[in-house]
Structure 1
Amino acid sequence: MSDNQSLQAIANLRREYTRSGLRRKDLPNHPLALFQTWLRQACAAQLPDPTAMTVATVDAHGQPYQRIVLLKHYDNEGLVFYTNLCSRKAQQLVNNARISLHFHWNFLERQVMILGEAEKLTPIEVLKYFYTRPRDSQISAWVSHQSCSIASRDVLESKFIELKKKFQEKVPLPSFWGGYRVKFYTMEFWQGGKHRLHDRFIYQRAVNCWTIDRLSP
């Protein structure tokens, strides 16, 4: 296949979205209620990594960055994830706490986009979660200086073995490891529709309620 044929083949990749629909009359007043329903359905469908979400932050020059992390908790106060506090994302959040999250449940033909501001979790919250992690994951938190250059994978594996021997009993919480709560003020829900006539609704926080608008696909 030639390069042109290959590019054309990619351009022709498409499918119809026909699994479901989303109507205004079916929307709850609070976006978290719909988010919870969709997340539970994604879990029930046994989708791979249903809690995986794209986290987008912006550096000091306005350059956006994205990466996938796992949602670890959510409630009316916000959505929670954990990371190395020296990582690129954490350093960018120091300068600009605005953040965007994105869930893509492809099999269900659904997406959720969230806008908000990230605030650090308290040391007690971080400690409580850290000790629910598998022991090897606790050690890995010490091993990785996230986003820093390293000479080879051998560096990581050697350090992991070294620390596994060092921490024979309880693994201490690294001072550079923590988490964030994303206090959301916008949630947008996307449900795939036939003929590309997708259903999109956006919730935006008002003074004492949430406004809901349908968006053109």
Structure 2
Amino acid sequence: MTTPINRLGTLHETAIEQRDPCAHFATLITMDEEGQPTSRIVTLRSLDQDGIALLVNADSPKIRHWRMNGKWELSGFWPSIMVQYRLRCDAELEQTKAVRQEWLAKPHASRLADLYHQRVRPESAPLPSRQTLLDELAALDAELENDMAAPPAVSRLLLKPKLLEIGRASLADRLHDRRLYRLHAETWTETILVP
């Protein structure tokens, strides 16, 4: 049976085949302590029938916000195929050996940044200057000498949508095809929306 998540996965594969520069990225929106939306670009690690997986720092502001109020939304746009999507609902945070192995496959600079958050300054902390960041990263890199173990906070956030909207743009007439899917008791419903 084809589910909306499977449809989104097929579109994602098409965007990757088209070498879409946005295929592996999306915007994660959470609500901060003051009830204000906060957004940041995240990397999609996988998109399949289980949901969408991200590698995250469990101590980051985005995870702190999610733990505080459970509210989030993920949205993305693949311009090569003119598809946008947004989704929300359940999420699970995992810290497992497999997650740590996945972390080891990340590029060196990305792993170094994760270790910097853990050992030097937390994510989103203020800096006196850009040069301070560069100097501290260089010092940490020299200290580690490529002997990098996954930081304790590295985690997999699995987003399990119960609401998914997929929009396919029609540039010719602006009559975009927008469909809203909702999961109720293991069954997806579909509503066609006015563009």
Which consecutive unaligned segments of at least 5 residues does structure 2 have?
Answer: none
CA distance in 1, matches of 2:15, 2:51: 20
| 2:61 alignment partner, one of 88, 91, 107 | 88
Structure 2 SS opposite 1:101: strand
CA distance in 1, matches of 2:148, 2:12: 32
Matched, 1:150 2:127: yes
Q: Give 1:182-201 correspondences, 5 Å limit.
A: 182-193=159-170, 194-201=172-179
Instruction: Report the structure number with the largest CA radius of gyration.
Output: 1
CA distance in 1, matches of 2:14, 2:32: 35
Tell me what 2:192 maps to. Answer: 214
CA deviation string 1:83-122 (max 9, x = no partner): 2223221110111223211110123221011112222122
Structure 2 SS opposite 1:147: coil
| 2:19 alignment partner, one of 33, 42, 46 | 46
| 1:97 alignment partner, one of 54, 70, 79 | 70
Q: Give 1:21-170 correspondences, 5 Å limit.
A: 29-144=2-117, 145-170=122-147
Asked if structure 1 preserves the Cα contact closer than 8 Å seen for 2:61 and 2:124, the reply is: yes
Shift of 1:77: 2.3
CA distance in 2, matches of 1:64, 1:169: 37
Please identify runs of 4+ aligned residues in structure 1 that moved more than 4 A. none
Asked if structure 2 preserves the Cα contact closer than 8 Å seen for 1:99 and 1:118, the reply is: no
Asked if structure 1 preserves the Cα contact closer than 8 Å seen for 2:95 and 2:154, the reply is: no
CA distance in 2, matches of 1:169, 1:52: 27
Tell me what 1:9 maps to. Answer: none
Which consecutive unaligned segments of at least 5 residues does structure 1 have?
Answer: 1-27
RMSD: 1.8
CA distance in 2, matches of 1:77, 1:97: 19
CA distance in 1, matches of 2:22, 2:178: 23
Give me the identity figure in percent.
24
Count of aligned positions: 190
Structure 1 SS opposite 2:88: strand
